[in-house]
Amino acid sequence: MIRFEQVSVHYDGAARPALAAVDLTVPEGELCLLVGPSGVGKSTLLGAVSGLVPHFTGGILRGRVTVAGRDTRTHKPRELADVVGTVGQDPLAHFVTDTVEDELAYGMESLGIAPDTMRRRVEETLDLLGLAELRDRPIATLSGGQRQRVAIGSVLTTHPRVLVLDEPTSALDPAAAEEVLAVLQRLVHDLGTTVLMAEHRLERVVQYADQMILLPSPGAAPLTGTPAELLPVSPVQPPVVALGGLAGWPPPVPLSVRDARRKAGPLRERLAPLAPRPVADPPPGGPVGEVARLSVRHGRVEALRGVDLTVRPGETVALMGRNGAGKSTLLACLVGLYEPASGSVRVGPDRVVPHRTRPAQLLRQVGLVPQEPRDLLYADTVAAECAAADQDAGAAPGTCRELVGRLLPEVADTAHPRDLSEGQRLALALSVILTARPPLLLLDEPTRGLDYAAKARLVEVVRGLAADGHATVLATHDVELAAELAHRVVILAEGEVVADGPTAEVVVSSPAFAPQVAKVLAPLPWLTVPQIREALEGAP
C-alpha cells in the first residue's frame, strides 16, 4: 500500500538529509507504528506519504514514494486526498471550518461526494468517535481530546485507504487515548485501512501494532519488523518490554499487560518478600502552595469547585484527570492568571496571593512552564533568551545559561528557540523559569511530544529539584511519568478533587491511572522498572 524506494529527503540549508536511503513497504490493512527519538525524521517520513513532502515543504526528494499505486512525484497532496488521510501533531492547525459537523464534511465536499453519502458518513463518524453530542459545537470551544477526535474524524469521512497520524494520543488522557486507539484498531480490522502512525508513548500503542518501523538515529536506515522482534533492540522501550528484559523472560517479549502478567508469575514470587524503597518523606516545612476551597468560573462554566491542595517543599505532586478536568486551570490559578470566584490561593514562602502580586515579585515565589513552552520564549537566540531571563529574575548574569548548559549540553548559543526540538524547547523554558529559583514549580503537560530520552532527562531534573527543596506540581496524562516522579497524586474530575494520596496508593487502586508495571505485578506495590531493578540488585 505504501512503498518507499531509496527515498532520501534533503531540506534546503540543512547540513544532512532528513531521511537517507529509506526502503520500506507497508502492506494493506496493517497498523504500522513509526518510532524513534525526536528529530530523526519521523514527521518527514509521514509527510512524504501524504505528498506534503516535498510538494508543500520544499526540499529535494530522491527515490520514489508510491501510495496505493500513485507516485507522489506526479500526484500533488490534493490528488492523494482520496487515498491518504493525514492528521498532524497540532489538531487546531488542521481545521478549516468552524463547527464539528462542517469539519467532518469538509474533506468529502472537496472530493465531491454525493450529499446523501456525505450525510450518512458524517452520522456514522459522529457515532464511531463519540462526537454526536458535539456536532454543532464551534471547534474553538472543544477540549484537546475532543479536538483530536474531530481531527481524526474529519479525515475518516473520506474513507481513505491510508491513514497517517502524527502523535495522535500525545495530548489525550489515558481513557481518551484508549478510545482513539480502539477506533483505529477497528478501522484496520473492519475496513482494512492501512494506518501509519508516529507515537512516543509506546506503552499505549505497541500492543495494537502489526508492524513497527524503527528509525534508530538520523540518517540511519530504518529497521522494520514486528514489535516483538524490534523492541528488544530498540533504544525506546515501553515498560513491559523493559520489565521483560530485566526479568530475563524468554522471547517473544510481552507487548501487552496481559502477555506480561502471564509470564510474571516467577518474578512476582521473587519480588514478594521485597518492598520498594520507601519514598523519602519531603523535608518538613511550611507549605509553599496552599489552595483552600478554591472555585473558579470561566464564564458560565465552573472550572474548579471547592478544591483543596497543599504542597510542601521538596514534594512532587502529579495532577491527573481527563482532558478538561480543570488541571490547567488549577495551575493557572497558582500563578494568578485567573482570579478565584471564591476560596483562597497562597503561594511561596511569603504566602502571597498570586493574582494580586506584581509579576516580577511573583516570579520568585512560583513559576509555571505552560503546555506550549514556546509561549515563554521571545528572543532570537538561546543566549539572548538567557540574558533576558537573568534580567527578569534579577539573577547574576550567566545563571540561566548555566542551567541551560546543564539541561541541554549540546545546544549552541546562537540557536533559534523555534528551531529546537520539543524536548529542547521545554528544557530551555524550564531553565528560564528556574533562573528565579521559585520554590514552587508548576509544569503543565511536560512530556507532550517528548521522546524517552528527553523524558528521562526531565525526570532527573525534577528529582534534582525536589532534592534541593523545590516543590513541583505537574499536570500530566502520562501515568508512567507520574509513577516515576510523584510523591503524591491528585486526581481531578469535573473541577473537583476526587483522590489525593501517596502515588502508590492512588494509581494502583485506579486502573486508568495505573502504570504498566503496577498492572503486571498487582497486587504487589511496584510502580516502575528502575524501582524493581534497584530492589533486585540489592537482593541476594
List binders of other proteins among 476-495 (CB under 8 A). 491, 493-494
Best CA proximity match to 8, nearest among 184, 180, 189, 219? 219
Q: How far is CA 9 from CA 12, 51, 59, 62, 401, in A?
A: 10, 12, 7, 6, 34
Q: Across the strands, what pairs with 304?
A: 296
Report the alpha-carbon distance of residue 320 to residue 478 in Å, rounded: 9
Query: Min. distance of Cβ 494 from other proteins in angstroms?
Result: 7
Between 173 and 212, how does the x/- string for binding to other proteins read (CB under 8 A)?
A: -xxx-xx-xxx-x---------------------------
Of residues 332 through 361, those in contact with other proteins by CB under 8 A are 332, 335-337, 358-360
Least Å distance, CB 476 to other proteins, is 14
Find the binding residues for other proteins in span 69-88 (CB under 8 A). 76-82, 84, 86, 88
Nearer of residues 57 and 66 to other proteins, judged by Cβ: 57
Q: Is 116 near other proteins (CB under 8 A)?
A: yes
In degrees, to the nearest 5, what angle opens at C-alpha 199 toward C-alphas 372 and 95? 55
105 binds other proteins (CB under 8 A): yes
DSSP 115-128: HHHHHHHHHHHHHH
**Residue 390 near residue 397, CB atoms below 8 Å:** yes
Cβ-based nearer residue to other proteins, 111 or 535: 111
**Does the footprint of other proteins cover residue 134 (CB under 8 A)?**
yes
Given 12, 13, 58, 136, the residue binding other proteins (CB under 8 A): 136
Q: How many whole angstroms separate alpha carbon 80 and alpha carbon 69? A: 11
Other Cβ atoms within 10 Å of 281 Cβ, number: 10
**Considering the rule CB under 8 A, would residue 163 count as an interface residue with other proteins?**
no
Contact status: 512 vs other proteins (CB under 8 A) = yes
Q: Which of 212, 363, 481, 485 binds other proteins (CB under 8 A)?
A: 363
Instruction: Provide the 3-class DSSP secondary structure of residue 416.
Output: coil
Side-chain half-sphere of 1: how many Cα atoms within 13 Å?
21
Q: Give the residue, chosen from 23, 71, 133, 460, that forms a contact with other proteins under the rule CB under 8 A.
A: 133
In one-letter notation, the amino acid at residue 343 is G
Cα gap 87→155, rounded to integer Å: 7
Q: Smallest distance, Å, CB 436 to other proteins? A: 7
By rule CB under 8 A, what count of residues binds other proteins?
A: 124
How much of the chain is helix, strand and coil, in % rounded to 5? Answer: 40, 20, 35
Does 300 bind other proteins (CB under 8 A)? Our answer is yes
Stretch that binds other proteins, among 102-110, 189-197, 215-223, 452-460 (CB under 8 A): 102-110
Output the smallest distance, CB 318 to other proteins, in A: 13
Q: State which residue, 26 or 335, has the beta carbon closest to other proteins.
A: 335
What binding mask, one character per residue, do residues 22-61 give for other proteins by CB under 8 A, x or -? ----------------------------xxx--xxx----
Cell numbers for 211:
508492524
Residue 519's identity, in one-letter code, is K
In which order are the strands placed within the sheet that holds 162-166?
A: 84-87, 162-166, 194-198, 31-35, 211-214, 223-225
Q: Of 7, 126, 428, 441, which lies in the binding site for other proteins, with binding defined by CB under 8 A?
A: 126
Query: Between residues 20 and 507, which has the closer beta carbon with respect to other proteins?
Result: 507
Which neighbouring-strand residues pair with 10?
A: 60
